[in-house]
Amino acid sequence: MDSLDDLKLLLRSRHPLITIETVEEQRAEALIARACRDIGIPLMVWTVTGGLRRAEPPGRSQIAGTEKLPAALGHLLETDYAAVYLFKDLPAHLTDAVNQRSLREVVQQFSRTHQTIVLVAEQVNLSGADERQAVPFTIRLPDDTQIKRIIKETYNELGKLSAVTIDLKRSEFDVLVRNLRGLTADEVRRAISRAMLNDDRLDADDLRETLRVKQEMIREQGLLEYIVPDLQLDEVGGLGRLKSWLKQRARAFTKEAAAFGLPTPRGMLLLGVQGCGKSLTAKAVAAAWRMPLLRLDPGSLYDKYVGESERHLRRSLTMAETLAPVVLWIDEIEKGFASAATQSTDGGLSQRMFGTLLSWMQEHDTPIFIVATSNNIQALPPELLRKGRFDEIFFVDLPDAEARKAIFRAHLTRRKRDPADFDLDILAEAADGFSGAEIEQAVVAGLYTAFADKRDIDTETLVTELGVTRPLSVTMAERITELRAWAKERCVPAD
- Convert the pLDDT of each residue in 30-41 to its tens digit: 999 999 999 999
Least confident range of 61-75, 280-294, 405-419, 455-469: 280-294
Rounded to a whole number of angstroms, the distance between the first and last alpha carbons of the chain is 45
| pLDDT computed for residue 446 by the predictor | 94
Sheet holding 224-227, edge to edge: 224-227, 293-296, 326-330, 368-374, 267-272, 392-396, 492-493
CATH number, position 289: 3.40.50.300
Round to whole Å and give the CA distance between 9 and 111: 16
Least confident range of 133-137, 307-311, 403-407: 307-311
Greater model confidence, 230 or 94: 94
For the cut 50, the answer to whether the pLDDT of residue 1 exceeds it is no
32 occurs within a structural domain: yes
pTM equals 0.69
Round to whole Å and give the CA distance between 293 and 284: 10
Say if residue 339 is in the same domain as residue 366.
Answer: yes
The secondary structure element, H or E, covering residue 368 is strand 368-374
486 occurs within a structural domain: no
CA nearest to 101, candidates 129, 122, 120: 129
The secondary structure element, H or E, covering residue 218 is helix 206-221
Task: Using pLDDT thresholds of 50, 70 and 90, give the confidence band for residue 60.
Answer: low
Distance of CA 388 to the CA centre of its chain: 21
- What is the number of structural domains in the chain? 4
**What's the chain's average pLDDT?**
84
Torsion sign, CA atoms 475, 479, 480, 482:
positive
Round to whole Å and give the CA distance between 345 and 91: 29
Least confident range of 1-10, 119-128, 300-309, 355-364: 300-309
Say if residue 389 is in the same domain as residue 429.
Answer: no
Domain range for 121 is 3-137
Q: 3-class secondary structure for 54-121?
A: ECCCCCCCCCCCCCCHHHHHHHHHHCCCCCEEEEECHHHHCCCHHHHHHHHHHHHHHHHHCCEEEEEE
Say if residue 132 is in the same domain as residue 7.
Answer: yes
Say if residue 422 is in the same domain as residue 391.
Answer: no
Round to whole Å and give the CA distance between 329 and 293: 7
Round to whole Å and give the CA distance between 228 and 246: 19
